[in-house]
Amino acid sequence: MLTTLTLASLQEETMHTLIAITFRICFQFGLFVLAFPLLAHASLPQSSNVPGGVAIIPLGSVSTSADTPQTWFGDQPVLVTSDHNQWYAVVGLSLDVTPGSHELRVKIGDVTKALDFVVNTKNYPEQHITLEDTSKVELSAEDEARADRELAVIQELKHHWRAAQDTDLTFILPVKGRLAGRFGLRRFFNGEPRAPHAGLDVAVARGTPVKASAHGQVLAVDDYFFNGRTIFVDHGNGLITMYCHLERIDVKTGETVRKGQRIGLSGKTGRATGPHLHWSVVLNGAMVDPELFIPAKHRRR
């Protein structure tokens, strides 16, 4: 008589056999994509050809190019990745990019060519913020000089490039909370227009653990006039994340961090009306919408 354990083992073996047969049939008759449609473009961010978005541009089959293609948008190198045996350029589009036709320069082997793509118009909503500390809006000469120096440093960090073989394009949210200030909002502080919101604000209590969105290396840590205590994580190939207004920083420049690792605690340092995390994503020097890198099922409204 068969024991319960033996029956369970036979059932498991039968299931594994059926799965193996299904895979062989799918591959033999070219039905794999039909059987598993959700795997398509699993490693790519959401495509959005608008200012502040990400353009996904196909470059051809991996099998026809032994080396990874090289691409540039203007003078800035662009991340290239493969997905389902196809090469793709993943192009960050800054909020101030002009809608219309643009050109991506592509080098495959010894051949260089230009690929045209179109950036569409997008109108972002307004956000009006009242700050009791007017010194963060009407800067003194000393504070303005400090802010200008820091802006130059941040601009340099945004254009940092480190070649890598393992850039992870599927991010996790650094904290769990309500998505407050969305990307691209045209902001007004105490009635005065300021730069658009180039990140995503997540409303969380002070001292909430903040996690790295993907594996990478800590590019820089500092305490800035506007951003407060901030961490830059370099994910390779021009993809960088920035975590602002932190209460505490738990990593050091040059440190390797893994996806989901705690890197600090949320706070309200810098120009902030309350405790929250401001999270930004930089791609080939452009600040882009972080939500494009988050799978829809993991986004919190």
Task: Report which of residues 6 and 118 the model is more confident about.
Answer: 118
Residues 189 and 239 in one domain: yes
64 touches 86 (CB < 8 A): no
Least confident of 142-146, 167-171, 179-183: 179-183
- The C-alpha angle 63, 69, 72, rounded to 5 degrees, equals 155
The answer to whether position 175 is within a domain reads yes
User: What does the pLDDT average to over 168-179?
Assistant: 94
Comparing CA positions, the residue from 92, 30, 20, 25 lying closest to residue 57 is 92
- Report the length, in residues, of the chain: 301
160 touches 240 (CB < 8 A): yes
Residues 175 and 276 in one domain: yes
Is 239 buried (19+), middle (13-18) or exposed (0-12) by CB count in 10 A? buried
Last residue in a domain, options 73, 99, 119? 119
Integer Cα distance of 90 and 117 in angstroms:
12
Comparing CA positions, the residue from 286, 296, 301 lying closest to residue 51 is 286
The answer to whether position 5 is within a domain reads no
The answer to whether position 33 is within a domain reads no
Residues 214 and 151 in one domain: yes
Residue 62: which CATH number? 2.60.40.1590
62 touches 86 (CB < 8 A): yes
Grouping H, G, I as helix, E, B as strand and the rest as coil, residue 20 is: helix
Cβ partners under 8 Å of residue 233, min gap 6: 212, 213, 214, 216, 217, 218, 219, 240, 241, 242, 243, 257, 263
Task: Report which of residues 180 and 96 the model is more confident about.
Answer: 96
Residues 137 and 284 in one domain: yes
Terminal alpha carbon distance of the chain: 56
Residues 92 and 160 in one domain: no
Residue 294: which CATH number? 2.70.70.10
Helices (H), the chain: 4-28, 32-35, 141-158
DSSP state of 123: P
Task: For the chain, list the strands marked E by DSSP.
Answer: 54-61, 70-73, 76-83, 86-92, 100-108, 111-119, 126-129, 178-179, 186-189, 192-193, 200-203, 209-211, 216-224, 228-236, 239-249, 256-257, 262-266, 277-283, 286-288
User: Residue 90 pLDDT > 70, yes or no?
Assistant: yes
Q: What is the mean pLDDT of the chain?
A: 84
User: What does the pLDDT average to over 260-273?
Assistant: 95
The answer to whether position 171 is within a domain reads yes
What's the token pair of residue 267? 């706070």
Cβ partners under 8 Å of residue 158, min gap 6: 240, 282, 285, 287
Residues 77 and 99 in one domain: yes
Give the pLDDT of residue 11.
41
- For the stretch 13-24, pLDDT in tens is 443 443 343 334
User: Residue 283 pLDDT > 80, yes or no?
Assistant: yes
Which residue range(s) make up the domain with 168?
Answer: 126-298
Residues 179 and 226 in one domain: yes
Residues 191 and 224 in one domain: yes
The answer to whether position 227 is within a domain reads yes
Last residue in a domain, options 97, 119, 141? 119
Residues 112 and 146 in one domain: no
Last residue in a domain, options 56, 86, 119? 119
The answer to whether position 210 is within a domain reads yes
Residues 156 and 194 in one domain: yes
Residues 89 and 141 in one domain: no
Given pLDDT bands bounded at 50, 70 and 90, which one contains residue 57?
very high
Counting the structural domains of the chain, the total is 2
Residues 141 and 233 in one domain: yes
The answer to whether position 19 is within a domain reads no
- For the stretch 102-157, pLDDT in tens is 999 999 988 999 999 999 999 898 777 776 666 667 789 999 999 999 999 999 99
The answer to whether position 287 is within a domain reads yes
